[in-house]
Homo-oligomer: A and B are copies of this chain.
Amino acid sequence: MIDRLIENIQKKNNPSVVGLDPTIAMMPEGLKKKYFEEYGETAEGIAAMFEEFNRNIIDAVADIVPAVKPQIAMYEKFGESGIRAYNRTCRYAAEKGLTVIGDIKRGDISSTAAAYAAHLDGAETGSRREATWWEDSVTVNPYLGTDGIKPFTDACAAAGKGIFVLVRTSNPSSSEIQMLELADGRKVYEAVGELTAEWGSSLIGKFGYSEVGAVVGATHKEEGERLRAALPHTFFLVPGYGAQGGTAEDVAGFFDARGLGAIISSSRGITAAYRKMEGCGEENYADAAAAAAAEMRDTLRAALARRTE
């Protein structure tokens, strides 16, 4: 995954990823009318609506961004129908050549983690193996330690896939556990960062980055820069840009000297851009997303260029 992701980033000269986190509130009125008329106000109809919305967003941004990051919770909320929409969204994006980062934040003990690893390398179904999910990479939670991570790294090695371990998340309460100070002077997130580097040490690709990356929030400029220096082989997936408060200047130090090493995520700021653009009819939501994605790309490019001046 990591080499293809970086090649995609270089080809589009854009280190950003569009979060596909649909909500009913985000949907254009015309789309809601269409699906509520066909399905009633049902989970099945909402899932089908999300799928159409996502397809149009993906078509609009596919030439601009290297990757998409659907957040499974927004689909899982709607049960089986939602999971189907998630899977179809991932598959559609992959077919368009985008790297698909499934934001699933799974984590469990070894035998259970091995079951979750089907997100990366499919499920044995008797004497054959079946693809049951369509991500190139997924986010995982480290709280259970190495034996909960190893099945994922095994799947990465077997299938050329990747993971991003939660190290320093973007949300306000993230410090409660992640910033606790340890007896040896480190913070909890630093200990988790070091474990993350160990977990990825045998999966380093041609750009010097591992299939095992880290989630580091744009809202934590200082810790992001410290982690960048401490973990030279760990690629960062960076949420918290835009709506959550992180700026291009905040994240510029999350990149290495080559301008690699991080991919910045924005969700609402792209997919709901049509609501904030003056004179933009809601039917043009996909064009608005493309414009917002291009603007974010240019803002990040400029911040990285300023850094090296």
Question: Which A residues are within 8 Å of any B CB, using their own CB?
Answer: 21, 24, 32, 36, 41-43, 45-46, 71, 73-74, 76-80, 82-84, 87, 105-110, 112-113, 115-116, 118, 123-128, 130, 132-133, 141-148, 166, 169-178, 180-185, 188, 191-192, 195, 239
25 inter-chain pairs at a CB distance below 8 angstroms, sorted by A residue, are A24-B126, A42-B125, A43-B132, A45-B125, A46-B123, A46-B126, A71-B108, A73-B106, A73-B113, A73-B115, A78-B123, A78-B125, A79-B118, A80-B84, A80-B132, A105-B107, A105-B108, A105-B141, A109-B169, A142-B143, A143-B177, A144-B177, A146-B173, A180-B191, A181-B184
**Identity of the chain B residue whose Cβ is nearest the Cβ of A73 in the assembled complex:** B115
Shortest distance between the CB of A244 and any CB in chain B (Å): 8
Are A181's CB and B178's CB within 8 A? Answer: no
Once bound together, how far apart are the Cα atoms of A84 and B132, in whole Å?
Answer: 13
Q: Which residues of B contact A73 (CB under 8 A)?
A: 106, 108, 112-113, 115-116
Q: How far is the CA of A267 from the CA of B133 in the complex (A)?
A: 26
Query: What 8 A-B pairs are tightest by C-beta distance, nearest first?
Result: A145-B173, A79-B132, A41-B126, A145-B176, A109-B171, A73-B115, A147-B173, A146-B173
User: How many whole Å from A291's CB to the nearest CB in chain B?
Assistant: 24
| A132 lies within 8 A of B192 (CB) | no
Q: Do A41 and B128 touch (CB < 8 A)?
A: yes
**Bound form: Cα–Cα A79–B87 in Å:** 8
A177 touches B192 (CB 8 A): yes
Q: Are A132 and B77 in contact (CB under 8 A)?
A: yes
* Beyond known contacts A141-B141, A148-B173: 4 more, CB 8 A cutoff: A78-B132, A82-B132, A110-B171, A177-B188
A82 to B110, CA, bound (A): 19
Cβ-defined partner of A77 (8 Å) among B46, B107, B110, B123: B123
Q: Which residues of chain B are near A87, meaning CB under 8 Å?
A: 79-80
Contact: A74 with B115, CB < 8 Å?
yes
Q: Assess whether A127 is in contact with B41, with CB atoms less than 8 Å apart.
A: yes
A46, A79, A174 interface centre (most CB from chain B within 10 Å): A79
Q: Are A143 and B146 in contact (CB under 8 A)?
A: no
- Residues of chain B within 8 A of A78, CB atoms compared: 118, 123, 125, 132
A46 to B87, CA, bound (A): 19
Distance in Å: Cβ of A110 to nearest Cβ of chain B: 6
A142 contact set on B, CB distance < 8 A: 143, 177
CB distance from A41 to the nearest CB of B (A): 3
A118 to B47, CA, bound (A): 14
